[in-house]
Amino acid sequence: MRIGIIGVGHLAMSLLAGLRKAGWPPGEVLLSPRGHGAELAEDHGYALARDNADIVARCDTVLLAVRPAHALAAVTGLGWRDGQVLISACAGVPSAALAGVVAPAAMVRIMPITAAEFGASPTVVWPDHPAAHPFLDAIGSAIPVASEAAFETATVSAAIYGWAQELIARGAEWSMAQGLPEETARQLVARTFTAAGRMQAESPEPMRALLKSLVTPGGITEAGLTHLREAKALDAWDGACDVVLKRLKGA
Ligand SMILES: NC(=O)c1ccc[n+]([C@@H]2O[C@H](COP(=O)([O-])OP(=O)(O)OC[C@H]3O[C@@H](n4cnc5c(N)ncnc54)[C@H](OP(=O)(O)O)[C@@H]3O)[C@@H](O)[C@H]2O)c1
């Protein structure tokens, strides 16, 4: 399946690395000549479009990954056809802002994360569309949601992905300050987060039951959680989610 990409920047580089890992043929990817397009075409054998209209003329599935403020201009007046699908990764850009100018093409919103480069992006998608699945399956796994409001809420997880990395870095740096070697500290804390994620994603136990099973009364997990609660760190976490959702809704 051929996919065209408008906006070959930081996110698109991760997505393309994921496609290469999944064995997506380079000849089935058509890149915009802007950003990293020309360099990636040269390095990996992708086809290079003349401009955005050329992408729309040659691809039935088009990924949009420009900055939110550039989204409307990037897809306007390109000769969209019935049967095409625009997959927009632009955070906080509602469907209504683009659907009119890309009609009669269908529009799908996605929120991938850069772990796509390892085929590990849990990608929120709304509305779900079969044409998006070969791409979403190549970069990770699709997580469809039922409404655009749910999509905005789910997009907060893309920020949580960054906060989790901040927690990993802090945990590793704290361990290094106590004397652990850097690579040991980094791998230990990072893989502990991966392990925690796998437990919650793969165990059939309810989330809170899993956590309760870890918190031995009087034990070390309980001691640290009590400290975090008393310091209102977990309330601050909820507040950070509220801040991001408000931003996404343009409030
Ligand atoms: N970064 C992430 O981890 C991430 C994750 C999820 C979603 N997103 C979303 O992905 C989008 C892109 O983010 P980014 O971090 O990849 O930004 P970025 O690195 O700035 O890349 C954006 C690219 O879009 C190109 N561009 C701008 N206008 C264009 C146009 N009219 N036609 C063709 N190309 C055009 C720019 O090219 P020039 O350099 O030539 O201007 C630039 O290469 C954003 O909407 C963001 O919300 C990002």
Give pLDDT tens digits for 127-148.
999 999 999 999 999 999 999 9
Q: Could you tell me what percent of the chain has a pLDDT over 90?
A: 98
How close is the Cα of 238 to the center of ligand 1, in Å? 28
Is a pLDDT exceeding 90 seen at residue 1? Answer: no
Decide whether any atom of ligand 1 lies within 6 Å of the 103 Cβ.
no
Beta pairing partners, 61: 3, 85
Please report the pLDDT score of residue 41 as a whole number: 97
Specify the residue for token string 């992708």: 46
Query: Which atom, in ligand 1's list, is nearest to the CA of 93?
Result: 45
Distance from Cα 67 to the centre of ligand 1, integer Å:
4
pLDDT at residue number 251: 59
Average pLDDT, the chain: 97
Ligand 1 midpoint to CA 117 (Å): 16
The pLDDT-based confidence of 85 (bands split at 50, 70, 90) is very high
Contact present, 40 and 19 (Cβ < 8 Å): no
pLDDT in tens, 3-43: 999 999 999 999 999 999 999 999 999 999 999 999 999 99
What's residue 49's pLDDT?
98
Region 63-86: mean pLDDT is 97
Specify the ligand 1 atom closest to the Cα of 12: 16
> What is the structure's pLDDT at 234?
97
| Ligand 1 neighbourhood includes 52 CB (under 6 angstroms) | yes
Q: What is the pLDDT of residue 212?
A: 95
> Measuring from atom 26 of ligand 1, which residue has the nearest CA?
7
Q: Is the omega angle on the peptide bond into residue 127 within 30 degrees of 0, that is, cis?
A: yes
- Write out pLDDT tens, residues 186-210: 999 999 999 999 999 999 999 999 9
81 lines ligand 1 (CB under 6 A): no
Segment holding 159, helix H or strand E: helix 148-177
Which residue's alpha carbon is at the smallest distance from atom 1 of ligand 1?
11
Distance CA 192, CA 28 (A): 37
**Atom number, ligand 1, closest to the C-alpha of residue 66:** 24
As to burial, measured by CB atoms within 10 angstroms (0-12 exposed, 13-18 middle, 19+ buried), residue 113 is buried
Residue 3: both structure tokens together: 């996919």
Domains of the chain with bracketed CATH: 3-144 (3.40.50.720), 153-248 (1.10.3730.10)
The gap between the terminal CA atoms of the chain, to the nearest Å, is: 38
What does the pLDDT average to over 142-166?
98
Q: Tell me which residue has its CA closest to atom 37 in ligand 1.
A: 35
Give the atom of ligand 1 at the shortest distance from the alpha carbon of 32. Answer: 33
d(CA 225, CA 65): 39
- In the prediction, which pLDDT does 250 show? 86
Q: Is the CB of 10 under 6 A from ligand 1?
A: yes
42 CA from centroid of ligand 1 (Å): 20
Residue 238 has pLDDT above 70, yes or no: yes
Beta carbon of 66 within 6 Å of any ligand 1 atom: yes
Which residues fall within 8 angstroms of residue 128, CB to CB, at 6 or more apart?
A: 108, 142, 144
Ligand 1, atom 39, lies closest to the CA of 35
For the segment 207-227, the average pLDDT, to the nearest whole number, is 96
168: which 2 tokens?
């990993």
